Amino acid sequence: MIDLELDDQHQDLVDMVREFAQEVVAPQSAQHDADHTFPYDIVKQMGQMGLFGLPISEEHGGSGGDYFHLALALEELGKVDQSVAITLEAGVSLGAMPIYRFGNEAQKQKWLPALATGERLAGFGLTEPGAGSDASAALTKAKLEDGHWVIDGAKEFITNSGTDITSHVTATAVTGVDEATGKKEISAIIVPTGTEGFTAEKAYNKVGWHASDTHPLSFNGARVPEENLLGERGRGYAYFLEILDEGRIAIAALATGAAQGCVDESVKYAKTRTSFGKTIGQYQSISFMIARMQSRAHAARLAYYAAAAKMLAGKDFKIEAAHAKLIASEAAMDNAREATQIFGGYGFMNETLVARHYRDSKILEIGEGTTQVQQMLIARGLGL
């Protein structure tokens, strides 16, 4: 039999993050959302708790845990504030992990200690104005010139790219053409904040995730040293596909938290809100709706647990990650819609958590691989 019970170490982490989420994050969420302000103090506290270093070795400034530790933390944060959760998710899986997975020792020593402690954040520059799901269609280019990469192009929708504590963005760029195949040679290059010619443009006015940091980026002759190449030349696209597979487990965990948060809020409301002389939870139409919501959250949790288990066992987990991302993101969106219905008029007020989940959850079906991309991966796994 498979044991899905958490061991003491993982449960202690869950308890710690749950307390922090409920007592520190939740009381501030509505204000940060309304003001569109980045929660620097919360990020600092998460860094002090070691959350940004969960899957990073102690040698490189991390906590020495694993990716499942990160996923569990994201689920708890996702229950109360998706903006805070995505800041952690992107800071680790998209900011730190490319360097941790593919960087040389000098790059790890230079960048990881500050990223693992949350003192600094980093972005993941893949998506472009004309290259979203098909990231291989990237047009951003980099050429070697006098020992430097000179980068020209643009990126879109880059999280954690313009904060006061952003250290760099790792960006993909076309660095040549593979002579054997004629295909673009795409490499990954570390571009520090403050590099001349590199600009984080005005932040987006988003539907949701108002307290997370997201910018378009422009590169106009941005010059960085040749040693800022991450890993092997021409392997950048492959690296980022691997990073996205891991990231889908993390996003699934966040989405599971959002789905469960909608359940938790709906249960509390259904026990206290009265209509026609009874609490609304006593009506089968409401109780059955919440039961269905709980089933979605449960299925999403099992899906990301399964994907994480295969990943940590060193097995191919691409399809399991796609399942988890698909199931959990749809659970979050469906539960947010039904929670809003249960809350009625109050669910349409932005200060309520279910309203924020309703606005926030849609991007979970888009970011780090759309629902359709996950379906494509699953279909390919079936031989279609």
Cβ contact 358:347 at 8 Å = yes
Cβ contact 234:115 at 8 Å = no
SS (H, E, C) the chain: CCCCCCCHHHHHHHHHHHHHHHHHHHHHHHHHHHHCCCCHHHHHHHHHHCHHHCCCCHHHCCCCCCHHHHHHHHHHHHHHCHHHHHHHHHHHHHHHHHHHHHCCHHHHHHHHHHHHCCCCEEEEECCECCECCCHHHCCCEEEEECCEEEEEEEEEEEECCCCCCEEEEEEEEEEEECCCCCCEEEEEEEEECCCCCEEECCCCCCCCCCCCCEEEEEEEEEEEEHHHEECCCCCHHHHHHHHHHHHHHHHHHHHHHHHHHHHHHHHHHHHHCEECCEEHHHCHHHHHHHHHHHHHHHHHHHHHHHHHHHHHCCCCCHHHHHHHHHHHHHHHHHHHHHHHHHHHHHHHCCCCHHHHHHHHHHHHHCCCCCHHHHHHHHHHHCCC
145 carries an active-site annotation: no
Active site residues: 368
